Amino acid sequence: MVSREVREKGTRTGFEIVDFATGQRGWLAHVNQPTGPQVSKYRVNLEDLERIGVESIRNALKEADVIVVDEVGPMELFSPAFVQVIRDVVDSPKPVLGVIHHSARHPIIDTIKKREDAEIFEVTFENRQQLHNLLIQKASQFLKEQRLHEG
């Protein structure tokens, strides 16, 4: 699952959710969303978040070798189903690449940060162009080691 900003005439109007595997799209939040929890000028669309975002993560948990979640942020954390699927993902034996928004506060984030098997990388202006190489290397190494132990 990935969430990305949507702009209209140069102004950010919302955030779209995309399921990598199916291409299904929906709204995480929008300025014209009539209901849902409010974060800044946006209202969170819990229905799309759970129908598309949570389901895409559940499917990745079953089907993928590596699980990618972009992002665990203040908007996503309004959904108990999202929090539970993140808990399921981090408790699974699969490698997880997740983005945690710097301002997000929630017990699940504290749990992730305290895990002995978690590595936390801060994205900075200086490292943002090369950080993906390090993450790919780490995930590849993990998968190789996992296959050695299985085989």
pTM: 0.87
Closest CA to 2 of 41, 49, 65, 36: 49
User: Torsion angle of alpha carbons 111, 26, 78, 98, nearest 10°?
Assistant: 10
Mean pLDDT, each 10-residue run in order, the chain (151 residues)? 92 94 95 96 98 95 90 95 97 90 92 90 88 87 82 68
CA distances from 18 to 21, 61, 109, 117, 123 (A): 9, 16, 22, 28, 22
Kindly list the structural domains of the chain, giving each domain's residue range(s) and its CATH number in brackets, ordered by start: 46-120 (3.40.50.300)
Q: What are phi and psi of 50, to 5 degrees?
A: -80, -40
Residue pointed to by tokens 């590595």: 119
pLDDT at 97 (0 to 100): 87
- The amino acid sitting at 147 is R
